[in-house]
Structure 1
Amino acid sequence: MAHVIFFHSALGLDKGVHAMADAIREAGHTVTTPDVYDGHVFDSTEKGIAYRDEVGFRTLTDRATAALAGVEGPLVAAGISLGAALAQRLGKKDPRTEAAVLLHAGGESRLIDWPARVALQIHHSVDDPWIDEGGPENLLRSAARAGARAEHYLYPGDAHLFADPTKPDFDERSAELLSARVQLLLEDLDAARG
């Protein structure tokens, strides 16, 4: 079964992230939830982003790297919102990673070198105001051109954290569909590993 590294959003490692990680565990996978906010949890995106900016993204990536020291692969890097940026970075740079699953975020302003061995899934609502226009498409093009499995799923509405069962944006139908698509990817990776 897959070992999923699940990175939290700008709100921190909160009950919603634990609930989403538990759903993956219930399907039989190992899940590690690094706390790159060092115990800080926020009740608003603005406060969480202010903390991110205060400590710096580099510090967050250093904390993620430290949390994964000694963890054996293969890994699936997953993340929600801000955590998707960390998952994307792990997918691009860490040779243990076999897939990157980006929830409610993901993308690049330009084409990049994406490893052919790393599958990519991006999930977000069609009118999510936090998604940069063209960003997901550039990342998907980079992955597809490298020969990687590249999937982009759009969901109705403009909710940002619709898959988090503890947030006001939660949409049960879309969340179930997202979960099924992620589980299918994990099953395919398991089958390919034998």
Structure 2
Amino acid sequence: MSQILLFHHALGLTDGVRALAERIEAGGHTVHLPDLYQGTTFATVEEGVAHLQQVGMDEIVSRGIAATAEYRQASVLAGISMGVCPAFKAAQTVPAFRACIAMSAALPLNAYAPLWMPHVALQVHLASEDPWVKDEDLPLALSYAASAEEPDNPADLFEYDTAGHLFMDSSTDDYDEALTDLMVQRIHELLR
């Protein structure tokens, strides 16, 4: 079974992120939850984004990379929204990982290195009507999912019919249990 590093979104390490980790663990996996905000959580996206801007994305990514050294047994990365940045950085620069799961965000495949690591499978989960992703992230993810040529290293994109950016976080108003069930099922399929 897989050991997974799951990086939280801009609201912090919420109860909803912890619940998502438990649902993934129900498939027999272990999910580690590095706290990139060092204990702070926020009730609104505006507050969380303001904190992110104060801390800086470079620092958040550095904290994520430090977590990969702490959890050396992990072979899968996952990130939700803001957490996709450290997940992508580690997937592109740390050879130990076999898969990267991006939820509610997508980055260029060369965001942190000239090429995507060929041995790292990529799975992307985006809400098709999410105003945070539909104009940039979704077209980007469509382009690299369509161009995945290696059958052993697919870039799989899954779209969900919702505008809820954090549809997988049960502690937010965006939460959709049925869509989260489907997403977790797809994550379990990848991990198998």
Output the amino acid matched with 1:158. Answer: A
> Structure 1 pair 106/26, CA: closer, same or farther in 2 (3 Å)?
same
Give 1:116 deviation, angstroms: 1.0
User: What amino acid is aligned across from residue 161 of structure 1 in structure 2?
Assistant: L
Q: Using the alignment, how far apart are the partners of 2:118 and 2:149 within structure 1?
A: 8
For the pair 1:31 / 2:31, whether they are aligned, the reply is yes
What's the CA shift for 1:72? 2.6
Q: Deviations over 1:38-79 (max 9, x none)?
A: 111011111111111111111111211222224334511001
8 A Cα contact 1:110 1:138, kept in partner: no
- 1:173 aligned to 2:175? no
Per the alignment, residue 122 of structure 2 pairs with 120
Output the CA distance in 2 between the equivalents of 1:184 and 1:62: 30
TM-score normalised by L of structure 2: 0.88
Alignment of 1:150 onto 2:155? yes
- In the alignment, what sits opposite 1:130? 132
Aligned to 1:192: none
TM-score normalised to structure 1 length:
0.87
Runs of 4+ in structure 1 over 3 Å off: 109-112, 138-142
Unaligned runs of 5+ in 2: none
State how 1:39-50 maps to structure 2 within 5 Å. 39-50=39-50
| Unpaired segments ≥5 residues, structure 1 | 188-194
**2:69 match: secondary structure:** coil
Fraction of identical pairs, as percent = 34
Aligned with 1:122: secondary structure? strand
RMSD over equivalenced CA pairs, Å: 2.0
Aligned letter for 1:68? T
Equivalence for 1:72:
72
Q: State the alpha-carbon separation in 1 of the partners of residues 54 and 7 from structure 2.
A: 19
> CA contact under 8 A between 1:73 and 1:97: conserved in structure 2?
no
Alpha carbons 1:100, 1:121 under 8 Å: kept: yes
One-letter amino acid matched to 1:117: H
